[in-house]
Amino acid sequence: MKITVVGSLNYDLVTTVGTVPQGGETVQAIDFETHHGGKGANEALALSRLSKEHDIHLVGCVGNDVFGKELTGSLTSAGVNMHVQTVDESRTGTATILVEQSGENRIMVYAGANQHVTTERFPESEYFPSDFILLQNEIPLETTFSIISQSRNHKTATVFNPSPIPKTSFAEYPFSDYIVVNETEAEALTGVPVPSVEEAYKALPLLLKQCSCAVVTLGSKGVVWMKQGEEKPGFQPAISLGKVVDTTGAGDTFLAAMCSQLASGRSMSECMRFAAAASGIVVTRRGAASSIPEHDEIIAALK
């Protein structure tokens, strides 16, 4: 199977603090690290590590700088087929991440070269034909929407995480095969607060207006999903595999793990269990790309 990710490549600057400073306040940081990130790059790397039998491709842009060269070199070494262009107009995208000791994170993203991922720069032949395409919202929204719309003509399944949530009305989204959101994103799209599994169930039918299958991840509460035509939603408890130290990259890894199993013909319940274990490993490690597990680690964790 060919799986193509169209998305962002960022260089992450991670500062760990006891508590996030208030306005005008200075606090002593506990640690500082740099990591490779960006939703697109994270997903492509996760797919490469989690699905050796699939052909993984990444479409995106970086700046003509040290960050860009390091990112593309690392992904190439990981076995990802690169369709990544270097642009001189912008620097490589960055994410400045504040991580509290509790594991919660706050992320500030500079789009940079990711803004140049357009359908004018990348013709259809860069991502079609593909069996699956993974998309998010760290590239221009019109690019994402255009690819989702085009996918129907190419019989390509789309897996869409609309994060960060744009101001565009959910009713204006093109129809996707799979929409995957966390509790905050689900509320933003549907208007339904999802503080619990029961409330998340209520959001699923509203999400299904724009997709064939809706998935809502709930962190430590697990994940729920539902397909069109099914009467009952599914539920997968979270899989705890150690102390939570950093949630960065957990959502991207979950999405990639889910897609890798879909491409292998697994049922939704099997996909969710595998993805829950993958994200359960990620949160026990620091960084985004550096925390992504290998396929065999997940199999071992599920035994």
Which residues are part of the catalytic machinery? 252
d(C-alpha 256, C-alpha 258), whole Å = 5
Q: What is the DSSP letter of 238?
A: -
DSSP 3-state of 265:
coil
d(C-alpha 194, C-alpha 55), whole Å = 36
Tokens of 151: 């996918």
93 and 164 Cβ atoms separated by less than 8 Å:
no
d(C-alpha 204, C-alpha 108), whole Å = 29
Cα dist from 167 to 22, 44, 129, whole Å: 27, 27, 30
Angle 258-180-274 from CA coordinates, rounded to 5°: 20
Tokens of 80: 């990802």
Q: Which residues are CB-neighbours of 9 under 8 A, at least 6 positions away?
A: 38, 40, 41, 58, 60, 61, 62, 68, 71, 72, 75, 84, 92, 93, 113, 114
d(C-alpha 200, C-alpha 236), whole Å = 13
Burial-class residue 254 by CB neighbours within 10 Å (0-12, 13-18, 19+): buried
